[in-house]
Homo-oligomer: A and B are copies of this chain.
Amino acid sequence: MNGSRTKAQAGVNLPALRHHNAALILDLLRAAGAEGISRLELAEGTGLTPQAVSKITARLREDGLAVGAGLRPSTGGKPRTVLRLVPDAQFAVGLHLDRDGLTAVLVDLAGRPVAVTRAPLDLGAPADRVLAGAADAVHDLCAAEPHKPVLGVGVAVPGPLDHRDGVLRRVTGFPQWDGYPLRAALAERTGLPVALDKDTNAAALALALAPGGAGGGDFAYLHLGTGLGAGLVLGGRVHRGARTGAGEFGHQTLQLDGPLCGCGGRGCVEALCLAAEARGDRPEAARILGAGAANLVGLLDIDRVVLGGRTVAADEDTYVRGVRAVIEERASRGGAGAGVTVTVARGGDRPVAEGAAQLVLAPVFGRVGEGE
Q: List the interface of chain A (C-beta within 8 A of B).
A: 1-14, 17, 20-21, 24, 27-28, 31, 45-48, 52, 170, 208-213, 215-218, 230, 232-237, 239-249, 251-256, 258, 263-265, 272, 288, 291-292, 294-296, 298-303, 330, 333-336, 366, 370
Contact = CB atoms under 8 A, between A and B. Distances in A.
A281 to B, nearest CB: 13
B265 A335 contact: yes
A299 B6 contact: no
A246 B256 CA distance: 24
Contacts of A245: 298, 301, 336
B3 A233 contact: yes
Contacts of A3: 208, 216-218, 233, 235-237
Given A299-B252, A299-B296, A300-B246, A4 B28 contact: yes
B299 A5 contact: no
17 contacts: A1-B212, A1-B213, A2-B208, A2-B210, A2-B236, A3-B236, A11-B47, A12-B20, A14-B17, A218-B241, A246-B299, A246-B300, A254-B255, A256-B272, A256-B291, A263-B335, A295-B295
B251 A254 contact: no
Contacts of A298: 245, 248-249, 251-252
Given A243-B301, A302-B241, A253 B291 contact: yes
Nearest to A255: B256
A230 B336 CA distance: 14
Given A1-B216, A239-B300, 10 more contacts: A2-B31, A3-B237, A6-B235, A11-B21, A12-B20, A170-B334, A234-B234, A251-B335, A251-B336, A255-B256
B301 A2 contact: no
A301 B217 contact: no
A52 B2 contact: no
Contacts of A256: 254-255, 258, 272, 288, 291
A31 B1 contact: yes
A4 B20 contact: no
Counting chain B CB atoms within 10 Å of each CB, the highest count among A4, A45, A244 belongs to A4
A212 B1 CA distance: 8
A256 to B, nearest CB: 5
Nearest to A290: B253
A247 B1 contact: no
A245 B294 CA distance: 13
A242 B263 contact: no
A240 B264 CA distance: 33
